[in-house]
Every structure is written in structure tokens, then in C-alpha cells.
A and B are shown apart, each in its own frame.
Chain A
Amino acid sequence: MKAPAFEDVLVGQEIPVLVKGPMTTAHVMRWSASMENWHRIHYDWRYATEHDKLPDVMVNGSWKQHVMVQLLTDWVGETGWLWKISFQFRGMNVPGDTLTAWGRVVRKEERGPYGVVDLEIGLKNQKGDEGTPGTASVVLPRRDGPAVPYPFDPGALGVATA
């Protein structure tokens, strides 16, 4: 897939989804180990279900965030930059779930020599329930414009550096 230029993007457009799963306890365990997150709700079924009254062990919030980061970095490709992303944890996900990360363009704006595109994003399970709604802003090059700076500096957009 060709990386989009700012002019290629339309408000209302859906970006290609990224599907992961079905999730297994092995996914949850590997992720917990790679992050050293030893919260028992991620690996101790009895603790999760009996002590915390959860339906099963929980898929990690940060695993879900990575899927949504990957959704956007895949879409903007090597020429764009994922600048900001935010998520709200509204729903739980458990082993057995298949997760579909999606994004929809809600705004686009020329900023300096570049373009900023704002998206609504989310992560639905196989029943279509939205569990992790959020927003993201990506910076894209204009068709005949300069490359997006790397490393990325928001000063290039004429905004104050974080």
C-alpha cells in the first residue's frame, strides 16, 4: 500500500483496518512478560475471576494500544509521522476475542508546509462492541512539499514544542 500524501486523504474516509486474534492466554502472557507487568489479572485466572470478579484474565491495555499504534504507523508509512494518540479504556477484552482496530478521518488541516490529519480510532471485538475509543493526529507530507522532519519536531508545524 502506498503511503498517503495529505491531498490523498478525505474527511470521513475509513483507513484500512488491522485485525488481531483470536486472542489467547499466550498473547497475554507474552505481552505481560515483555513489559514486566505482573499484575495478576493478566495471568492468574483464579485471582482475576474470584478476587477481582472479572470474567477471565484481561488482555493488557497496552497490548491494545500497540495494535492501534500499528494501525496508524502502517497507514502513514515511512513518509508520515504518528504524532499523538489517546485512548480511553471503556471495555474489557478477554482471551477468545478477535480485535479489529479501525480509524476514520475527522479533520484535515494544512500546517506550515505539512498536513495534519485527525482521526477517530477504536478497537472492536468480534461482536462489534467498542472497548477502546480514542483519537489520533498524524502528520503527512503534501504532494509537492518537503519531507516530514525526522526526528519529528512539532515546531515545524508552527506549534509550541511539548
Chain B
Amino acid sequence: MEIQVPDIEKFLAGLVGPVGKPDTMAVELGAVRKMAKAVEDFDPIHYDAAAAIARGYRGVVAPWPLLWLFYFNGTEHSIDFPFGKATVHGEDEYEFHEPVIVGDEIAMQMVITDARLKQGRSGPLGIVVEERRFTNQLGALCAVLRTTLIRR
């Protein structure tokens, strides 16, 4: 029997809250250089500590999408939706505060901040917002990454 709307809503409401424990990872020079090269960003702040320090940074600066390396390396997490056929990565939003620097220890904590049912053109859609906050070893907030998943 197909799951009914009140049960879907109950399932979604139950998702909201922290997911797992904070996961910590070191920022490695090789990873940063590889990523900057992969996107053809040749700004020396991504390769050379002296060049980065001369421009006011603490050391070699990670390109912001390095956050995705943490995302893919973080604690495995997937939502086992009892409805719909496919989960689509619909939208991302970043906020940037303190640059991520080679040698930093970055802690990532994930929280589901919103999960609700929305009526789409082709039926009900589950909307789930995952928020990941990245903090460095100095306690500074580096970035917030919000990802919206759509279950249909």
C-alpha cells in the first residue's frame, strides 16, 4: 500500500535535527593543488605558501569547493525515503567567512534544518535542507553550505 501524506509528513518532520557527530579532517596541500588545477584556477594563493602569505592569508588557500571533499569524505549519510522514486540535488547555497588554509583541521557538523512536503506540478515533492557548518581548529566559522534535496 502506498504511504499516505500524513505519514510522509511525519517521516519528514522526524528528519530535522543534527545528523551524526562532527567529523574532522586535515586540509592537505596536495588536495588543494589538485583541486585548483582541476578547475584551471592558477591563482598562486592555491599553490604557494609564500605567495598566499604575501597577500595576507595564513597559508595556502583552499578553493571554496574543497568543502565538497569533506562532504564526500564525511560520515556516510543517506536518507531512506519511504516515498518517491528519485532524489535530486536541487540547490546549493554557501556563506563564506574564514578561508580554509592548508594545515587547518576542519570540523564539519551536519544538521537537517528543514524537511517538508510541497505540492509540485507532477505530485508531492519532499524538500530537505541539509546544512553543513565548517569550523577550523581556531574555533572560527569558515563556511556554511546548505544543500536542498528534492525527493520526487
Contact = CB atoms under 8 A, between A and B. Distances in A.
Q: Is the interface of A mostly helix, strand, loop or mixed?
A: mixed
Contact of A89 (B89, B93, B99): B89
A17 interface: no
B56 A65 contact: no
A137 to B, nearest CB: 9
Interface residues of A, number: 35
Given A27-B38, A34-B69, A70-B41, A153 B97 contact: yes
A162 B34 CA distance: 30
Given A65-B92, A81-B96, A34 B64 contact: no
Contacts of B91: 86-89
Given A35-B69, A88-B90, A151 B97 contact: yes
Interface residues of B, number: 32
Nearest to B64: A69
Interface in A104-162: 150-154, 161-162
A97 B44 CA distance: 27
B140 interface: yes
A4 B97 CA distance: 20
A54 interface: no
A49 interface: no
A46 interface: no
Contacts of A150: 56
A65 B65 contact: yes
Contacts of A81: 96
Interface string A50-83: 0000000000011101110110000000100111
B37 interface: yes
Given A69-B63, A82-B96, A85-B93, A31 B39 contact: yes
State the 4 A-B residue pairs at the shortest beta-carbon distance, nearest first. A151-B98, A86-B93, A30-B38, A34-B35
Interface of B: 31, 34-35, 37-41, 55-56, 63-65, 68-69, 72-73, 88-99, 140-141, 144
Interface of A: 20, 27, 30-31, 33-38, 61-63, 65-67, 69-70, 78, 81-89, 150-154, 161-162
